[in-house]
Amino acid sequence: MISLGGDGTLLDTVTFIKDKGIPVLGINYGRLGFLASIGREDLHTAVSALVKGTYVIDERTLIHLDANIPLFGDVPYALNEFTLHKKDSSPMIKIHAYLNGEFLNTYWADGLIVATPTGSTGYSLSCNGPVVFPDSGSFVITPVAPHNLNIRPIVVPDNNIISFEVEGRTDEFLCSLDSRRELVAKETQLAIKKELFVLTLSA
């Protein structure tokens, strides 16, 4: 599949591919080009490489969301990141994070990002998260505007299940997978893990 647009267009393309294993070629017609890295002036060369079979395949990890209520329809996964975030005008929220059921940390913050290696160059990076290699087999947990100055992003192996409990003065918070968002009650049980399938990018 050929994605004509920016990185946002390519992220939307992921929701169409699902687990079919179809390689995606991103041609950058937008502003950002981290994922859709081939310029429009190189379109002819890219198509020629597809025809000749001289392109390179790059497999990218996806992140999967499990919840005790239906969320995000039949695409409960993301290429870049999963986020928990306070509603626009509400005070900061308190997020308890657990790794395989064991307490990891409590974050007083505007939100929390769990990024894949691909997503480590996106929202997580803008919140001072580290950049990790695509094949590093890891997730990056990055707080958004944390209240405690000693709280920093951490990198964990992607074979862990990360679960959350959220407290706050409001009854709802925002949950997102890439650019898709849902308003979720704070009693909702959420857990993320590595998706069983990958996204294949061609270059």
Q: Report yes or no: 55 and 80 within 8 Å, Cβ to Cβ.
A: no
Q: What residues contact 41, with CB distance under 8 A and at least 6 apart?
A: none
CB-hemisphere CA count at 13 Å for 128?
9
Pull the structure tokens for residue 203.
Answer: 């270059």
Residue 185 has a CB neighbour count (10 Å cut-off) of 10
Q: How far apart are CA 61 and CA 139, in angstroms?
A: 10
Q: How far apart are CA 178 and CA 182, in angstroms?
A: 11
| Positions marked active-site | 7
Nearest to 11 by CA among 75, 59, 72, 79: 79
Q: How far apart are CA 169 and CA 50, in angstroms?
A: 53
DSSP bridge partners of 60: 199
